[in-house]
Structure 1
Amino acid sequence: MSRLYDTVEPAVIDDDVLMKAVEEQGPKEEAGKIAKEEGIDFLDVTTLRLDFKNILKIDNLWSFTHLVKLQLDNNIIEKIEGLETLTRLVWLDLSFNNIEVIEGLQTLTNLEDLTLYNNRIQKIENMDALTKLHVFSIGNNNVKELDNVSYLRRFTKLQTLNLSGNPISDQADCKLYVIAHLPYLEYLNYRLIDDTSKQAAFTKYDIAIQEMQHDEKIATKKAEEAAKLKAEEELNRLAFVEHLNGPQLFESMYSEDVEGQKLNKMPGLPEMLQIYRDRFMVICVQLFEYALDKHGERNVEVDMFFECINEAKTENRTIGIAKIDEFMEYKNELWNLLNTTTDSKLQEEKVNEYNERASELWDVLMGIEMQLVDQLEESIKDFERNLSDMVAAFIEYVQGQFTQCRDLETQHHEKLLELSIMNLEKVVKNEMEEEMPEDLRDLFIDKDTLINAVSASHDVHLLKIDNREDTIITQVNSWMSNLLNKIHDEEEVERNRSRVTEICNLIDHLREEVDTLDWPNY
């Protein structure tokens, strides 16, 4: 694995190295000179060669966001890193380096061709995001286990695989194993897989493949169920009622209620507690279902608003473009006239007329923009009013449901207190038929201790209910506030500022054009 230049000082990927590499692969001679003088924008670069540079660390490539092809072969790179922003990358060559672990590829979802030939890799892993992978070369590495091939089954578009030069290739059954386990493969070690080999492979590993397919189906089903559950949880979170479709809130009231946990062991309480739990859950589920329904209604309102806004912007821009096109037709006719006349007086009159027409165009375009501003402002006000009404109604319902929860808790508290006093009297009279647990008996020392325990439990429950109510109200208000601020500040203000600048730049350009051009005898 040694390189001829291992004794040379490792290079750093800095701006000088990058600029030199870009210039080397750019246009030559006069065109190259012009490009160099005008400056090269890394955003325009789609192909970059950094091979044979003695590079130790991948760094400073964040500006090359449009990069499609990257060559980093024949360096001394030890770790795959610094590629996070290169999301358009289709072709990546990291061959002839010192890489030991496959990593750092999770954002390269468009990658189709990956070459890791001649490195020090022992395991094929961490490539799940490369769903478009078509060609994969990992020859001349240290891959020893056939199980690595099974990992590649997930890449259904993989057609070319190179494993030559790995310890795995020395195993007698390697070829048939690979062909059987990767049915989509067409080329192995750059040789076409013939039908005879395919038939032999499928026959030899038929039972093993069937078992693997069965396991994969089970794993896929579990993954789908997990994804579905995750999506449901995210929906519930966006509706602000996560964990309210079951006993979670009720159980959370007792999770931190030390006294309540003791009291729940009291004779005669389990049935009472079950009734309380069932009624409490009914209220929570009602709130949960209502919240999901209202979340859908809010989404519809938001989508309709943005659809309306976009339609208004499109219509406004179409009108503006029509006015600009009309002016450009006039300008072309004027340019033809000025280019064919030597009458200086006529030229001066036409230039003055042109400047006046440019000013009129500015007035028209700014007028159109102001109309849009007024239109959008009115739409935003209507949307804000509708959204505020929807949120207010939602909060009112939430408060009503949690009031019912508090009422239930209060009713249960009163019954619990009554039952506790009754049991205390039995304890005092030594009439308690059931044996009390030690921790519960400690609460029946006297009436004050018992009442304090019941009250403490009640306070914990009310606090839990209040906190959950406050959380929902805070979240929905924050959501509405953030959305409206984004619409006002980030979208409308920025859009208007950008449009005004665009209009001013256009008019300035039109005026500069007539000022800088030389007319015949003018």
Structure 2
Amino acid sequence: MRVPWQKKNEFMDSFRKEIVPIIIDENMLKEAVMGQITDDEENLIVKTEGIHFNEVIHLSLGNRDIMMIAYMWDFTSLEDLYLAHNLIEKIEGLNHLFSLKCLDLSFNHIEKIEGLESLRKLEFLDLSNNRISVIENMDTLENLTEFCIENNVIRQMHNVLNLRKSKKLGTLKLSGNPVCEENEYKLFIVACLPNLMYLDDIVIDEDIKQEALKVKIVQNEMTSEAVHENDFVRFLNGCFPSGSMFKEDPEAETLHCVPEMAQVMDQFEKQIQELFTKIITLSLAEHNQREAERNSFNSVYTAAMGDYQKKTSETIQQHLQRMMEPLQESDSNPKKNITQPCNSLMEKETFVSQTEIMVKLGKISDLEVLKERINHCKNESSKISQSLMDMELLYVSQIADIIKMLDRTLTDMICNFGEIAEGIFTQCRDIEDEYYDKVRKVAVATLEKVAKEEVEMNMSGDVLMLFTDRDTVMDALDTGHANHLRIINDIETQLLAHFNAWKAKLIKGIQDKELLGNRIRLADSHEYVVHLREELEKIQM
């Protein structure tokens, strides 16, 4: 019998109470790489030269009680990373793994999907048996083909919509999450992700796809982009009055029993509903245009980030090349070309890693030469720090301009929408005024007939009773008129306020995310340079 995942985690937690969590360090990485070397991979390591992290393709670090991911800078060629069955609480330290295709973080303590923005080549991602409640921050994973997130705590079905940008996603494993208990769960997922071929190890055949298309709620979600952070369609449904405009009007049912009055009331409601439908259609079109603009921004943003990451990697490599250059000179002539600049990274056929530099420095027996070489490397490390800072400032300025452009574009769109909507709401108020004049005339005429006892024989007792009191009739009409104008004005205010609030929240969210990203990148760069200098200090001791 399979043990529920919650009990598994509780068991593992109690089992590991006495175990001290550890952080990935360089010694662990060396040990892991050495442990997986085979005779067929002799070119991966040259014992006299040390381990070349930049040439490692596969790396397994499972079952090691790792709490934090770190020291992964040099693994630029890494394609497969196995970190399952650890104590990892946060996805981090993967920023430089640009070649990564497979990442296994199953059976950890992760609560949030994050830190994957740089992994644009990722094809397989396993986050099963963690503590994740939201599928998020996966917009850049456009090459993802298989995603495993079984046995987590995902409850909201619309979370799956966040996977739609992964157009190549063919396999999804969600079983063991509370969301799987929802009605028509399978059909909803299939309709949301039309390219999916396997769901929870079940083949999605044509019959399932056809059945999924019949689920109306899914079709609405898919065609109108209804489910996203602001739930726009649900907002519209709640914004406009359901049922009759006369729902809150006093004596409305009784007034509708007067034939002439009923005709005026029905015509008014039809006209108002037509205009409301026009506003809803306009709002949906505006919403879709704003979504398209946001998607366009995301594409530009992603391209800028990709270019920044590429240039960052090239810049670091250029400085490492400069560090390596004097170390390739003969020890008999140590001062030759120590400061000679190396060619551009694009002109180099080889890739220099930090480990290679440390190995070569460790071979220098002459202390004066060693000191000179280390000082040269320290100067280059300082230049790395400055270069990365300059690039970060340039990138931040570029992103700020992109965000400002999005802000201006959305502001213009909302202003244009506001002008058109204002005209339609003005028509609504004009129709209400016309209706009010007509019903007052019908009411006056009916009051006179009742007073003269010239009413039709089929007029009910409630109508006769109402029209014996002029003040009650006129008060009811006045209150109805005020109700209708209030509803129209409230909808107009609420709709425009919603658009502006959406824009403000979107821009602030992007700015906050970028600010956090800036801090993380600066901390990452600082940590890299500090680590590099610490390694140089160790050799000098």
User: Considering the TM-score relative to the shorter chain, is it more than 0.5?
Assistant: yes
Aligned partner of 1:388 in structure 2 is 411
Distance 1:333 1:396 in 2: 65
Cα gap change, 1:294 to 1:127, in 2 (>3 Å): closer
Aligned partner of 1:280 in structure 2 is 272
Q: Deviations over 1:203-238 (max 9, x none)?
A: xxxxxxxxxxxxx99x93884345324545763952
Aligned partner of 2:232 in structure 1 is 238
The letter of the residue matching 1:466 is N
Given the two structures, how large is their TM-score scaled by the length of structure 2? 0.58
Aligned partner of 2:507 in structure 1 is 484
Q: Any conservation in 2 of the 1:42–1:64 contact (CA below 8 Å)? A: no
The letter of the residue matching 1:282 is E
The alignment status of 1:425 with 2:448, answered yes or no, reads: yes
SS where residue 487 of structure 2 aligns? helix
The alignment status of 1:468 with 2:528, answered yes or no, reads: no
Q: Deviations over 1:66-104 (max 9, x none)?
A: 98999xxxxxxxxxxx9989994779xxxxxxxxxxxx9
Q: 1:17 aligns with which of 5, 15, 18?
A: 15
Cα gap change, 1:85 to 1:64, in 2 (>3 Å): farther
Q: 2:215 aligns with which of 195, 213, 224?
A: 224
Q: Deviations over 1:245-301 (max 9, x none)?
A: 9xx737342122232222122231232223222322221222122222222211121
The letter of the residue matching 1:425 is E
- Which runs of 5 or more structure 2 residues have no equivalent in the other structure? 2-8, 22-30, 36-60, 70-81, 87-106, 112-124, 136-146, 161-170, 188-197, 332-360
Q: Deviations over 1:429-486 (max 9, x none)?
A: 1112253333333331232222111101112222222222222122212211110110
Aligned partner of 1:372 in structure 2 is 395
Aligned partner of 2:109 in structure 1 is 63
Q: 2:301 aligns with which of 298, 306, 309?
A: 309
Q: Percentage identity across aligned positions? A: 23
Aligned partner of 2:358 in structure 1 is none
Cα gap change, 1:16 to 1:446, in 2 (>3 Å): closer
Superposition CA RMSD, Å: 4.8
The alignment status of 1:497 with 2:519, answered yes or no, reads: yes
Distance 1:46 1:506 in 2: 25
Q: Any conservation in 1 of the 2:432–2:481 contact (CA below 8 Å)? A: yes
Aligned partner of 2:354 in structure 1 is none
The alignment status of 1:293 with 2:315, answered yes or no, reads: no
How far the C-alpha of 1:39 sits from its partner, in A, is 4.0
Q: Any conservation in 1 of the 2:275–2:424 contact (CA below 8 Å)? A: yes
The letter of the residue matching 1:499 is R
Q: Deviations over 1:103-131 (max 9, x none)?
A: x9x9996279x9xxxxxxxxxx9897689
Aligned partner of 1:355 in structure 2 is 378
Cα gap change, 1:387 to 1:16, in 2 (>3 Å): same
The alignment status of 1:440 with 2:463, answered yes or no, reads: yes
How far the C-alpha of 1:355 sits from its partner, in A, is 1.8
Distance 2:405 2:462 in 1: 60
How far the C-alpha of 1:156 sits from its partner, in A, is 11
Distance 1:358 1:438 in 2: 96
The letter of the residue matching 2:109 is S
How far the C-alpha of 1:349 sits from its partner, in A, is 3.0
Distance 1:253 1:463 in 2: 11
The letter of the residue matching 2:386 is D
Distance 2:68 2:150 in 1: 17
Aligned partner of 2:478 in structure 1 is 455
Distance 2:370 2:418 in 1: 70
Distance 1:359 1:83 in 2: 40
Aligned partner of 2:423 in structure 1 is 400
SS where residue 259 of structure 2 aligns? coil
Q: Any conservation in 2 of the 1:89–1:110 contact (CA below 8 Å)? A: yes
The letter of the residue matching 1:451 is M
Greater Cα radius of gyration, structure 1 or 2: 1
Distance 2:172 2:493 in 1: 41
Q: Any conservation in 2 of the 1:406–1:462 contact (CA below 8 Å)? A: yes
Distance 1:285 1:36 in 2: 57
Distance 1:363 1:287 in 2: 54
Aligned partner of 1:508 in structure 2 is 530
Q: 1:346 aligns with which of 369, 379, 388?
A: 369
Distance 1:38 1:62 in 2: 11
Distance 2:459 2:62 in 1: 90
The alignment status of 1:270 with 2:316, answered yes or no, reads: no
Q: Any conservation in 2 of the 1:254–1:260 contact (CA below 8 Å)? A: yes
Distance 2:174 2:506 in 1: 35
How far the C-alpha of 1:307 sits from its partner, in A, is 1.1
Cα gap change, 1:276 to 1:158, in 2 (>3 Å): closer
Q: Any conservation in 2 of the 1:413–1:458 contact (CA below 8 Å)? A: yes
Q: Any conservation in 2 of the 1:244–1:285 contact (CA below 8 Å)? A: no
Given the two structures, how large is their TM-score scaled by the length of structure 1? 0.60
Alignment of 1:70-85 (within 5 A): none
Cα gap change, 1:230 to 1:375, in 2 (>3 Å): closer
SS where residue 251 of structure 1 aligns? coil
The letter of the residue matching 1:377 is A
Q: Any conservation in 2 of the 1:110–1:130 contact (CA below 8 Å)? A: no
The alignment of Structure 1 onto Structure 2 pairs a total of residues equal to 379
The letter of the residue matching 2:434 is Q
Quick check: which one's helix share is greater?
1
Distance 1:305 1:442 in 2: 64
- Which runs of 5 or more structure 1 residues have no equivalent in the other structure? 2-10, 24-29, 49-60, 71-81, 92-103, 115-124, 132-153, 160-183, 185-215
Alignment of 1:26-425 (within 5 A): 39-41=65-67, 46=84, 63=109, 88=148, 110=173, 220=211, 223-229=214-220, 231=222, 235=226, 238=232, 242-243=236-237, 249=241, 251-335=243-327, 338-339=361-362, 341-425=364-448
SS where residue 256 of structure 1 aligns? coil
